[in-house]
A and B are shown apart, each in its own frame.
Chain A
Amino acid sequence: MAGGNGRAIDYNALVKPDAVHGDCYTDPDIFADELKKIYGRGWVYIGHVSEIPKAGDYIRSWLGLQPVIFSRDKAGNTHVLFNRCTHRGASICQEDKGNTGGFRCEYHGWFFRLDGALSAMPYADAYGENFDKTQYNLRKPPRVDAYRGFVFASMAPSGLSLREHIGAPALAQIDYACDLSPEGELLVQSGATKLAYNGNWKLQMENSIDGYHPNFTHQSFISAIERMTGAKMEIFNGDSKLQSRDLSMGNANIDSRRHNIEHPHAQARLQAMQKTAWGKKYYDDLVKAHGKARAEEVLTVGGTHMNVFPNLVVLAQQVRTIRPVSTERTEVFLRPSFLKGVPDEVNTQRLRAYEGFYTTAGGGIHDDVEMFNRVHEGLRCSHDPWLIFRRGMHREQTDNDGTLFGQCTDETAQRGMWRHWKSVMQQEMN
């Protein structure tokens, strides 16, 4: 199989059912091949519509290494535009976010509208009478689509639809996160915490759905929680009812449904909502919007904890984007998500819970990042290149919806991600 530099890469030999070769993280040729086959072909998460709520709003994002602008035009339509002047190649948008009437390339003054249309060039007569401006609009990925506000782009003109790419089981998980809002909408407009580490982007994807590491990597956080609550935190043990689930298509989650619904605290949590005016209002509005059964289900389950392949993570109060930079470097953007149409107290509570774990000065995420750096160092030992993903292979089961699941400390979720990665990398470019 031809890799990034035309070198033959045998992906079948690199990804076994129970193990992954270290080259999948460290080989620059494989990284270059990923940029073509994953980030340059399949659906890639760009941003959330609520990040650009008003006409003229824009943010910068990436399609792999390629910089893009996610903008909203005056008619309210959203666009994904390559951040590159069609004249001589300069990037035309410099700020990470803002509001503008259009994008002017400051090199020679070409001006593009929010929908990417070339509007004007200085001294246009030099291009002659028959010059067709529409040939020089900002370039766009051929396909852009959204599910519940999550906007994706694909460089393939045809192929799987976004809904097929995500798949029904993962769509249902996104629904859990969104249905916590009576209006069914997340608001991703409360800033970001930004992290970077030395290592491959897939280290963060594997970790986001890893139910084996918390009791070890996050000892400092768990110890703090136990000190504050006075109770032992026994969520991520080997006999926990949390599940490691392969949602198919490379998507996966730590599934808390069974654990949270069967847990004696489930009813107590619902009852606690009745103790404050804002809790009661939230409960009542959610019941009004979704019906009692669904409202109580989503409240009890409490959102989701999932990956959408290749670069989106949706957690209870967070939307996370993974940005590959090289085999040596990855950036991660974590954004708290608010619920539309709920009392302010609900969102402030979500924000404080997020900050307790997921900020750079907070109690958890940096211990994850430390482990990514350590894996990256360890992978320099090429004597035994294999990373072992065999936990719980013997006890994996197929659920009614066709997904595979195991106990939360099993590596069912990671195996699913790697199976999909292999199948995508084995498909030649057309």
Chain B
Amino acid sequence: MSVLREKVENFLYKEARLMDENRFMDWFEMFANPALYWIPANQEDYDPDKHVSLFYGDYNGVKNLAIRLSEGKAFAQEPRARMRRVVSNIEIEDGAEEVSVHANFIINEIRKHEQRYHTGRSHYRLVPADGAFRIKYKKAVLVSLDEAQDNLTFLV
């Protein structure tokens, strides 16, 4: 395994673990400033200023999401979802200033005795920082992006 692949995998697995364990502020620390986090709605690609997204936020938007979810006042997460996700099918493209990474995810989520699966593929643009990376851009494309959702208030 290449050194780059090992570093990228370690970074994605850490992010997955923090999201699974609802460690919102630790997850937020993985973002660069400025950053962009995007979860498209209805279709995979479009101009996010012209079409609604499930999430479209900059560094402060991600920070507000993390704080809001960690405060314990978001009742759609009371009780919280239990989850574990698998990250796989990782494809890496090394660039001069950033690393472009695509990865599939499968989330098994249980909340209030109901089990749900959420799957998709994320595109990251990672910038080197502190021997690892920071997330400059993350676009999480859910397979269910055009379906009626019961609850999507955890991290994807």
- Chain A residues within CB distance 8 Å of chain B: 96, 190-197, 217, 219-221, 223-224, 227-228, 331-333, 335-336, 344, 347-348, 351-352, 354-355, 359-363, 366-367, 369-371
Alpha-carbon gap, A279 to B46, bound state (A): 25
Q: Which residues of A contact B149 (CB under 8 A)?
A: 194-196, 360
B75 touching A360, Cβ below 8 Å: no
Q: What are the 6 A-B residue pairs with the smallest beta carbon separation, nearest first?
A: A220-B74, A366-B76, A360-B152, A196-B148, A219-B73, A220-B73
Q: Which residues of A contact B88 (CB under 8 A)?
A: none
B72 → A minimal CB distance (Å): 8
B48 to chain A: closest residue by CB: A351
Alpha-carbon gap, A96 to B43, bound state (A): 12
A15 → B minimal CB distance (Å): 28
B78 to chain A: closest residue by CB: A370
Q: Which residues of B contact A191 (CB under 8 A)?
A: 41-43, 46, 51-52
User: DSSP majority for the B interface?
Assistant: loop
B83 → A minimal CB distance (Å): 15
Q: Is B6's beta carbon under 8 Å from chain A?
A: no
A351 touching B49, Cβ below 8 Å: yes
Binds A, one of B10-18, B63-71, B91-99, B100-108: B63-71
A367 touching B56, Cβ below 8 Å: no
14 residue pairs bridging A and B, Cβ less than 8 Å apart:
A190-B51, A191-B43, A192-B41, A192-B42, A193-B54, A220-B69, A220-B74, A227-B64, A344-B49, A361-B55, A363-B65, A369-B76, A369-B150, A370-B151
Q: Tell which of A192, A221, A333, A371 has the most Cβ of chain B within 10 Å.
A: A192
Our count of residue pairs bridging A and B at CB distance below 8 angstroms stands at: 102
Alpha-carbon gap, A347 to B51, bound state (A): 10
Alpha-carbon gap, A221 to B71, bound state (A): 11
B70 to chain A: closest residue by CB: A220
Beyond A96-B146, A219-B75, A360-B151, 8 additional contacts (C-beta under 8 Å) are A220-B71, A220-B74, A223-B73, A344-B49, A351-B50, A351-B52, A362-B55, A369-B76
Q: Which residues of B contact A351 (CB under 8 A)?
A: 49-50, 52
B52 touching A190, Cβ below 8 Å: yes
